[in-house]
Amino acid sequence: MKKYILIPCLALACIFGGAMLGIYLRGVLPDYHLGPETKDSVRIGMGLVATMTALLLGLLVASAKGSYDDQRKEVIHLAGRLHFLDRLLGFYGPEAAEAVEVLRSLNEGLIQQLWAGKEAGKAQTERVFSLFQALYESISKLAPENDVQRAAQDEALDTTADLSRTRSLLYAMADTSIATPVLVIVILWLTTIFISFGLFAPTNWTAIGSLFIAALSVSSAIFLIMELDQPFDGVIHISDAPLRHTLNRTGRETFEQIDSLQLSEGVQ
């Protein structure tokens, strides 16, 4: 079972188990332990814990959402730079056919690296790195015939370097941004709160069902945090549509020029 599913399920078991433990303790504790004064003391203490838990949960959600948004922006930036590089190579026409082919392979490699899963993505790392090298070399070998092509070549080399930096940034951001001890503390606090809920809850199915729904709701917040922290996997994931759209358009103009030249040569 994947981490972003396993941890919320464990959280649900711990939190709802805490509520059941509280109900059990209510049945074995003497009545003077459950008097109004005790109830008020527990309510005050758990109110403080609940406030701290709410603040920490809010910070975790904000952190995970911020990391998700940052990586989504980098993916859009990556797709935009890939399309821009393809347009720059269009200034060379058929002469840039080799560079365009490498650019298409690079685009496919980036999609496989980012969305193929963590282990499969690591296997694609060296291939993507070699494709960046091959692309840089292919662009460097182009022979500009005028100032426009010379400027396009310089810009294409800068864009390739920027693509490599963006890819390295995405690779570095792939690790989790949520510290495991923080999640453990949140689950511990929530379990403690639900023990107090069960301690003073009536023993009937309505109360037990309400506690389960509350535990499920809180666990779904942890599920949301784990989902946002894995932006290329799971239910809530970054779409690969920008890169696939760029892949479908890459080399279209260059290949059309090659086809037209081959057709004219065939007619002659």
Token representation of residue 219: 């666990």
Domain boundaries, the chain: 3-23+38-267
The residue-averaged pLDDT of 220-240 equals 87
pLDDT of residue 201: 86
**25 Cβ contact list (under 8 Å, min separation 6):** 195, 198, 199
Residue 191 and residue 141: Cα distance in Å, rounded? 64
Give CB contacts under 8 A, 24+ apart, made by 176-184: 176/229, 176/230, 177/63, 177/64, 177/67, 177/229, 178/60, 178/63, 178/64, 178/225, 178/226, 178/229, 182/56, 182/60, 183/7, 183/60, 183/222, 183/225
Task: Tell me which residue of 69, 9, 10, 52 sits closest to 229, measured CA to CA.
Answer: 69
Residue 128's pLDDT band, with cuts at 50, 70 and 90, is confident
pLDDT of residue 187: 93
The residue-averaged pLDDT of 187-216 equals 91
User: Across 23-37, 117-131, 209-223, 228-242, which has the greatest mean pLDDT?
Assistant: 209-223
pLDDT of residue 179: 80
Token representation of residue 197: 């809920």
For residue 192, how many C-alpha atoms fall within 13 Å in the half-sphere facing its CB? 17
Please check the confidence at residue 259 and state whether its pLDDT lies above 50.
no
pLDDT of residue 268: 43
Please check the confidence at residue 66 and state whether its pLDDT lies above 70.
yes
> Of all residues in the chain, what percent are helix, strand and coil, respectively (each to 5)?
85, 0, 15
Task: Tell me which residue of 54, 42, 36, 40 sits closest to 189, measured CA to CA.
Answer: 54
Residue 118's pLDDT band, with cuts at 50, 70 and 90, is low
Please check the confidence at residue 232 and state whether its pLDDT lies above 90.
no
